[in-house]
A = this chain, B = another copy of it.
Amino acid sequence: MSKKNHWTLKSIAKELGVSNATVSNAFNRPDQLSKSRRESILAACKELGYFGPNKAAQSLRRGKFNIVALVLPDSIEYMVSDPVASSFMRGVASVLEKDGTNLLLFSGNSDNLNNVVDFVDGFICYGRPRNQSLVEQLKIVPKHVVTVDFDIGRNASVNINNEQASYEVAKHALHNKDDQVAILGLRLLDQNVLCRVYEHHECEAGQSIAHQRLRGYQKALTELDIPIADDRIWNIPESSERFASIAAKEALCSLPRPSVLLCMSDLIALAAMREAIKMGLKIPEDIRIVGFDGIDEAQRFVPKLTTIHQNSEEKGALAANLFITKEEQKALINYELQLGQSS
């Protein structure tokens, strides 16, 4: 007898003439019934086209959803084309996929965690979300949270030592006190504008990645006794070719012409190298350029970029593992100074 094509645990149990608990157990708790019974039930279900308990109902009942929301710093559409974010997602995805956990992409522009909080097991947050109110919500949300590249009050996080890394790459790019230095910063300011950063007094206090990196640069500058003028630091609001090119052009045209360009991302450094080449400058003879991130394209570029290679994929994998194991750990991940011909 073929009932309607849509079986439920209840209807299939009735069809088979057993109680629904038995069917449930057959699928979920093998130890609760005899092997033969279980197998005959499973076979009958398959035969009839019942593929197992409804996941939504199961989740509601158990309070477990097998979905984790990956909270991106910005809109999904923006993040998905960012090479560093992509690597990170790759690491996350590889671990979650093995674990059978589903990955939901969540925009850092959303204004409410509530839209998803009820059907995810928790959150992996890659960088501070653009919408600050999300941060506040993440602090108190009653689910598991792993933060990456920033911290909130919670205990599971993955970071790299941005200050030390920046210090190292700057140290490599800088030669002596006669160097003319310009810094192309990424999101140094909250304001969404491309401009120079005349005031950076609060840098010591700044907790953002950009400020950590800036501190690293400054430490290197200070050690070499290199002054940096107030008008030699740029703020680029997002890691895009367009903004980076404009800022690079401004920097390269500023006088005295910089001999060193410290860039807070490889994408920025690449744009800067392209602009420099267009202007007929020789790299590194006329200008030394260093980046941050270690993306593939920058390694393939001629000249190869000197940069800090962040192990983004590993970062993602670690974050996902922390999530799965629910370990409360503040992890610090390695980076590598990657030497190229650009400095």
Query: Which residues of A are in contact with B by a Cβ distance under 8 Å?
Result: 5-6, 51-52, 54-60, 65-67, 75-78, 80-81, 83, 86-87, 89-91, 93-94, 97, 100, 102-107, 109, 114-119, 142, 241, 274, 296-297, 300
**Complex: chain B residue closest to A107, CB-CB:** B97
Tell me, in angstroms, the Cα distance from A120 to B173 when the chains sit together.
Answer: 51
Closest residue on chain B to residue A53 by CB atoms: B118
20 examples of A-B residue contacts, CB within 8 angstroms: A5-B142, A56-B56, A56-B65, A56-B119, A57-B118, A67-B104, A76-B94, A76-B97, A77-B93, A77-B94, A78-B90, A80-B93, A97-B109, A102-B106, A102-B115, A103-B104, A103-B105, A104-B104, A119-B119, A274-B300
**Closest beta carbon of chain B to A18's beta carbon, Å:** 22
When distances are taken between beta carbons in the complex, the residues of chain B under 8 Å from A66 are 115
How many angstroms between the C-alpha atoms of A97 and B65 in the bound complex?
Answer: 22
- Pick from A106, A142, A296, A300 the residue with the most CB of B within 10 Å: A300
Known: A100-B115, A118-B54. A105 touches B93 (CB 8 A): yes
Cα of A41 to Cα of B55 in the assembled complex, Å: 33
Would you give the shortest CB distance from A301 to chain B, in whole angstroms? 10
